[in-house]
Chain A
Amino acid sequence: MLSDCPHYAFMPWRRRPRITWPGGARIAFWVVPNIEHYEYDPPPNPRRMPWTRPVPDVLNYSWRDWGNRVGFWRMAEVMARYGVRGSVSLNVAVCDHYPEIIERCCELGWELFSHGTYNTRYFYGMSEEQQRAVIRENRETIRRASGQEMDGWLTPAISNDETTQHILAEEGVNYTLDLLHDDQPTPLITRAGSLISIPYSLEVNDVPLLIMRNTPPDRYAAICKAQFDTLYEEGAESGTVMCLPVHPYLIGQPHRLAAFEEVLRHVTSHDGVWLATGREIAAHYRAHHLAEHQAWIAAGTP
């Protein structure tokens, strides 16, 4: 077993080589809708049961189903109103089950990246060959459904195994969201290839906030705005990233949509905000900052 996450060097939050964003923006703000399908009757995984109740877990299955039938459409409408594109963390089987959702995402100019096949198929315990097979199949599915390349990755239910990041790098995946160690993109250490990390978030992610921390809608908006305000302020020194991960089955609920809208209104009312996608953030970082960060690490982060 690992005692350490082996994928990055220590990079203190001081005297880092400065990150600049396009147009002189202070902050790259990106919204990650997790568009998922949780299976009605999934196979068991040795490390995690997919459902808390015996199958069928009608309450939890139907709640997530609501996200695709109702929540997604509302959420997408609000984002479009504020000119915010999504970078979709996609269970790629959604391309087969609900192609109308994929059509809508493409119509809105959203990026699609992989969040595995289903949110009930974990990477825990997969062999390297199995992980590789899923990654390759996911890339093909996204290409077939949208014509897009699969640049990004978030392991389904963040269920990565020890070698997942290495395999992503070997398979040519551009960026991963499985690591929560930073507020900027960072280089990652993998046995081959070139993988970078872009900030995701569990702090302003609606699942931990609304379900695990029992946050009412107005507090959700206040917390997300506070997260933005600090990263925006610090971004004057060196460009930061704020990721707002959302789940249609939660944020699209009629009692929460206004809180989500309030966050988008707050963010888009500021100058100096780059409304980006994951792919755009990764490309800019690679073109302008990756080498400098690597050199700084090599020099011992002076």
Chain B
Amino acid sequence: MTGLPEEYLRYPRRRRGMDHDRYPFRALPTAPPVRWPGGAPIALWIAVHVGHFPMDMPLKPFVAPGGMERPYPSFWDYTQRDYGNRIGIYRLMRVLAQRGLSASALLSARLAERYPVLMEDIAAAGWEVVCAGLDMGHLHHGEVPEEAERAWIAEAARLLRGRFGTVRGWHSPAHSESHRTPDLVAEAGFTWSCGWVNDDMPYVMATAHGPLLIMPLPQDLSDQRMLFQQHMATEDFTAAILAAYRLLRVEAEATGGGRILPVVVTPWVMGQPHRIPAFAALLDSLLAEGGIWPGPAEAILAEWQRQQPG
């Protein structure tokens, strides 16, 4: 047997800490407690994936969840996603507004051109706007040339800043990035990002253009993952959010600090008529439990940053 090349048994990055240089290892119990305004144990972050899925989107090197999985032209996939931006998002806006809650839109920048009216309504709802790339057809991944990626980010930033003014937060579509995405995002003036699912609290990522704050945005516990990809029931998702709330609250109270509960929903999933009552009931349950500070992401990050030592 000839075996594998000798490099296969060499480990050049086997060392203390991470096998890359983006951030040091941190065990959450060693992170200093951070207190939310009013002593609330839970900062509630409602993050809404407002994505545009072009019908001719590339299917390689992988199909983004919710992408065109059926043969071209998939009106099936395209129109169901588009439903979210016409109908579903308005249901989410309604049930949130009825409860005095706001949200952050992780927005495909192309929608600023396509649906200016939706942009007005998002602005009027007082939602925070986070740039989620150009659209779901422009996935940032390891095979995208640097110049193309830089141009996509610049164009996405231009579209959203042209409409909303300052936009500081970034999310790479489908939680997918290239090696250099954090550098390019920081270079384009973004100060925080969400998409790395490696913590329950913020941390700082190093880039070639200064620090980038990372906000926790789960995918394991998100409506798109559980209800669309994993085919679970709506009640499985809402029960899981409540279970997470209970655990995080106990942990917050035990550590004397606060935790973040991100509720990640998607208009074409949670905005369906058969699901919206369950979403409303979930919000009611959370609000009835109490101990919640409903900060948008940038308020949560500002509090976190203000309380970091040094």
Is A98 close to B, CB under 8 A? yes
Q: Let me know if B4 and A125 touch, CB within 8 A.
A: yes
CA distance A255 to B251 in the complex (A): 13
Q: Let me know if A258 and B246 touch, CB within 8 A.
A: yes
Contact with B along A201-236 (1 / 0, CB 8 A): 000000000000010111000000000000000000
Is A293 close to B, CB under 8 A? no
Is A296 close to B, CB under 8 A? no
Is B256 close to A, CB under 8 A? no
Q: Which segment, of B25-33, B91-99, B283-291, B292-300, faces chain A?
A: B25-33
Is B195 close to A, CB under 8 A? yes
A133 to chain B, nearest CB (A): 6
Is B247 close to A, CB under 8 A? yes
B63 to chain A, nearest CB (A): 11
User: A58 is contacted by which of B9, B177, B241 (Cβ under 8 Å)?
Assistant: B177
Is A39 close to B, CB under 8 A? yes
Contact with A along B13-46 (1 / 0, CB 8 A): 1111111100001111110000000000000000
Is A12 close to B, CB under 8 A? no
B61 to A, closest residue via Cβ: A54
CA distance A70 to B220 in the complex (A): 14
The tally of CB-CB contacts under 8 A between chains A and B is 159
B243: chain A residues at CB < 8 Å are 217, 254-256, 258-259
Total interface residues in chain B, CB < 8 Å: 60
CA distance A71 to B246 in the complex (A): 16
Total interface residues in chain A, CB < 8 Å: 55
Q: Let me know if B27 and A56 touch, CB within 8 A.
A: no
Chain B residues with a Cβ under 8 A of chain A = 1-5, 7-9, 11, 13-20, 25-30, 61-62, 141-143, 172, 174-179, 181, 195-200, 219-221, 226, 230-233, 236, 239-241, 243-244, 246-248, 251
Chain A residues with a Cβ under 8 A of chain B = 37, 39-41, 43, 45-46, 52-59, 62-63, 65-66, 68-70, 72-74, 93, 96-101, 117-118, 121, 125-130, 133-134, 214, 216-218, 250, 253-259
Q: What are 20 inter-chain pairs, A to B, with CB distance below 8 A? A: A52-B62, A56-B142, A57-B176, A58-B177, A63-B219, A66-B200, A70-B199, A93-B14, A97-B25, A121-B8, A121-B9, A126-B3, A127-B4, A128-B1, A214-B230, A214-B231, A250-B220, A253-B220, A254-B243, A256-B243
* Given A66-B200, A98-B27, A127-B2, 15 extra CB contacts under 8 A: A40-B13, A40-B20, A45-B8, A53-B61, A54-B142, A55-B142, A58-B177, A66-B197, A69-B27, A69-B28, A69-B198, A126-B4, A127-B4, A255-B240, A259-B243
